[in-house]
Structures are given as C-alpha cells and as structure tokens.
Structure 1
Amino acid sequence: MTNIDKASHPDSALFSELPSADLASRIADQVLQAIGDGRLIPGQKVAEAQLAREMGTSRAPVREALRLLESQGLIVSHPRRGFFVHSYDADELDDIYDLRECLELHAAEAAVARITDADVDRLAAQVELLKRLAQDGQMQEQVTQDYEFHRMLCALGDNMRVVRLFDQIATQLRAGIALLGRNYDDPWEIAQSHDVLIDALRQKDAARLRSELKEHLEEARFQVVALFRNDNG
C-alpha cells in the first residue's frame, strides 16, 4: 500500500483548495473523482493531513468526508492506520457488474418510452467521441466518456436515484479498471459496440435495446473479471 506523499510530487497537488460551505460533501466529491480517474488506486492510503492541507481546511471535515465514502463502500478505515481506498477482488467486481446490469436494463426500458430524436442524437455524438478517443489512443479519457454515455442513458429514464446509484457503481468499476492499467478490449471495438444501442434507440425497439445492452454489459463484465482474476490469481 502506498501513502500519498506530496514530497514525491512537489509541483502538483492532488486536490484543490475549497470554499468553506458544505466542505465535507465537496471533499468527498474530490476524493471520489480521484478514485474514479485512477489518481487514487485501490489499497492506497488517503492521508487526512495532506487532504486538509491541500484543500485549505481542518481535518474534521476531511474525516467526515472519508466516513461518508466509507459508508458507500469506497473507503475503508483501519484502527491506528487510517483510511484506505477500498481494494476489490474479482468476485466483488463481478457482483458490482451484476448490479450495474440490473440497473441499466431497468433505466433503458424507462428511457425508450420517453426518448426523443434529439436525445438519440446526443447519445450518438457521445459514441463518435468514443471513436475519436480510441483513434487518438486516449484510453483513460475513453473509459471516462464510455461511462458518461451509460450515465446519459440512465438519466433519460428520469429517475435521479437511479443516476446517483449508477454514479456510485461506475466509480467502483472505474477504480477496478484503473487497477488493471489497461482496457479490457480493443478501444475501437469498445467504441463501435455502442452503435447497435444507438440503432435500437432510434427505432425505439425496447426488446432489441434490452437484448443488445445486456450483451454489451455482459461482454465487459466477462472480460474485466477474467483479466482481474488473471492478474490477481
């Protein structure tokens, strides 16, 4: 486990200073983002003193923020050792993918009933962005924007509780992928695999969308969990 050591990165702080209002939730948001984009990796210690110093606050709201993230399963605490980013094993990632599939299939069914042509155009534009990122070799940004596509789809179901739960699941899965250090498949193939979802949405074909989305998610689940087992077996 690696402690966050500012001395080893003197020119770049992990976190930015925050205003005083609603500090705990703002701190939690920054830590959540750092976990999601791989700046904080599973098993890494999260030093309260460093967070407080970089964010320009006391340690009390930092501790409150970390307790909040602990309640969401993203941070763990150990007596006399401090807080750490939660580490995942293959079985846990498989469970998270299972929950993601249930959530997205439900959201997609709701989305088909209310989706507009403009909504589909926005989703199609997001797929084109994924393809450009694949061509440019921007793996980490492609992962981020891939989850944004699925978040957009969930949001079209018009249930913000579903979206918030998706955000939590996505952060956990992105942390696992960051630990792998690579995509589970060819980036171009990943981007193109969204085309069938766009086609089903344009046709407002709920049955086809469910089938294609289920296959899309299960392929990602199979590949990521298999790689994780191989790397950590």
Structure 2
Amino acid sequence: MKSIASVVKTGSRSLEGALPVLDNPAMAAPIDPTTRPDSLSRQIYATLREGIIRGRYPQGSRLAEQRLAEELQVSRVPLREAVPVLEIEGFVSTLPRRSAIVTTWTIRSVHDLFDLRLCLEVGAARYAARRIADGASIAPLRAALETARGSLNSGDAYRIADDSTRFHEGIVDLTDNALMRAVMRSLAGRMMWLFFMTHEPGPLHAHNGHEELLAAIESGDERVAEAVAYTHIEHHRIDSMRALRASSDIRDEPA
C-alpha cells in the first residue's frame, strides 16, 4: 500500500488501472501520521483537485472510493470529507451509494460559467475602482499581476492558470465585499480548470488583458473598469470556446 507521497512520485497511470499521479511538489513530503484529520482531508482534496485539473482523472471518470483510499493510504473518513468540497466547487458529482464522477464540461456549462463571471466580475471591477478612488491600495492586485507575469516564463500551464485565477480573485478581494468574495471562491476552481484547458490560445494575450484591467481599476473610473472587465471576459469566452472546440475537452449537450 502506497502513501500519497509515493503515489505522487511513481508516474501517471490510467484511472482504470491505478490512481493517476500528481506532479505537485508540495505533495512530495510523506504524510505525518499525527496529521490532524481536517488537515488530512484538505490534503486529499488538494490532491484530487489538482489531478482533475491536470486531466489525470478524465472528465466523466469514476473516482472509486475504495481504490482512492487504498492508493492514498488513508481511511475513507477524510476522503468522504474531501469529496463533498469538490462537488460544491463543481469538480465532481455524486449520487447516493455511488462513486463520485468527474464533471464533464459541455458547451452550456462553459457559457454558464462565463455568464456568471460577467455578473460577478464586471460588478467587482466597478466596486474595486470605486475603492481605489476612495484611497484603497492597488498594491495587492499589482503584486498578483507581477506573480502572473513571472509564471509565464515557467511554461507551466498549471501555474499559469493558478496565477491567472488569483489575479481575478484579487479584483474581487479589492471590493471588500464578503459575499462577493465567497461567491468568487466557489467559482475559482472551475475558472482555473478552464484556464488550464485553454491556455494554448496565448497566455501572453490574457496577461496583456490583465494589465489593461488593472490600469482601468487603478484609474478609479467605475464605468471604464466595468467596460474593460466585460470586454476581457468576453474575449476570454471566445478564445476558450475556440480552443475547446479544437480539442476533445468539451462536448455538445445531448439531444
């Protein structure tokens, strides 16, 4: 029986054979047997979440509880605590007495995500600009942009997607609106997953859009910030749909 650390280091295998492996260096240290149950649950959640985003757990595949518990060398209790969080964030769906199923992206679900982003992020850009005009600091958002710029040189699509998502979260954080921040947290995982799948259209293009968005918010002009945010999200929708249709990562809704 293997620990999470040994699974991480072994190499990727198919879901039907054995648990797919993750490349996250943060997961390389062996699990401390004294790890608190809630911390262990979070570690399992992070492992499964990264595996889904990276595609090691393919869309529509079954996450068999017994197999996961054996491969990760954990009891089913923390595993059962981790899976519902993944379901809340849209990574899996579950049915009573059945294994979790990795979510399958459809054309409709992609558009649903972008439609909700328009509702949330355009308003967030407006309120962020208002707070800047009232004297709030743009420094945290600028730092997030610099981090995202640095990740472009790494060539790591996962890191690029993560940093891009954090930039968008930073805009919502600037609003200082707890409810908006809570909604954004529930979307961030799916946003990162989609960013990861569609990075090919050009992360530099997306980064330039982030610079324009930061400048608009920094201006303190609410209407300009709204307009730039709306344009940025719609351009990303177009680029994402183009990339997804050219791949096998999306399907049409059933007739």
* TM-score, length-scaled by structure 1: 0.79
203, 214, 219: which one aligns with 1:187:
203
Paired residue for 2:221?
205
Between 26-35 and 201-210, the greater mean CA deviation after superposition: 26-35
The 5 A counterparts of 1:146-225 are: 146-178=164-196, 180=197, 182-225=198-241
Q: Identify the residue that residue 124 of structure 1 maps to in structure 2.
A: 142
202 and 79 in structure 1: CA distance in 2 versus 1, 3 angstrom threshold:
closer
Letter in 1 for 2:226: R
What residue in structure 1 maps to residue 120 of structure 2? Answer: 103
Give the whole-Å Cα distance in 2 for the aligned partners of 1:7 and 1:159: 40
- Say which of 60, 73, 80 aligns to 1:63: 80
Please give the alpha-carbon distance, in whole angstroms, between the structure 2 residues aligned to 1:131 and 1:213: 19
Alpha carbons 2:165, 2:191 under 8 Å: kept = no
Query: What is aligned with 1:3?
Result: 15
The residue number in structure 1 matching 2:242 is 226
1: CA distance, partners of 2:71 / 2:129: 44
Task: Please report how far the alpha carbon of residue 44 of structure 1 lies from its aligned counterpart in structure 2 after TM superposition.
Answer: 3.2
CA distance in structure 2 between the aligned counterparts of 1:123 and 1:154, rounded to whole angstroms: 10
- 1:40, 1:207 → 2: CA distance? 42
Q: Deviations over 1:131-157 (max 9, x none)?
A: 333244333211110110110110111
The change in CA–CA distance for 1:3 and 1:28 in structure 2 (over 3 A counts) is same
The alpha-carbon deviation at position 3 of structure 1 amounts to 1.7
SS in structure 2 at match of 1:185: coil
Once residues 10 and 195 of structure 1 are traced to their aligned partners in structure 2, the CA distance between those partners, rounded to angstroms, is 32
Instruction: Choose 6-15 or 152-161, whichever is displaced more.
Output: 6-15
The one-letter code of the counterpart of 2:244 is: F
Gap change, CA 1:22 and 1:161, over 3 Å in 2: farther
Distance 1:55 1:149, change over 3 A: same
The one-letter amino acid of 2:189's match is T
Q: Which whole-Å deviations, capped at 9, do the CAs of 1:163-203 have from their partners, x for residues lacking one?
A: 2322222212332344x3x5152222211111222222222
**Superposition TM-score, scaled by structure 2 size:** 0.73
Q: Higher relative contact order at CA 8 Å, sep ≥6: structure 1 or structure 2?
A: 1
Q: How many Å separate the matches in 2 of 1:140 and 1:12?
A: 10
> 1:29, CA displacement in angstroms?
5.0
Q: Give the letter for the 1:106 counterpart.
A: G
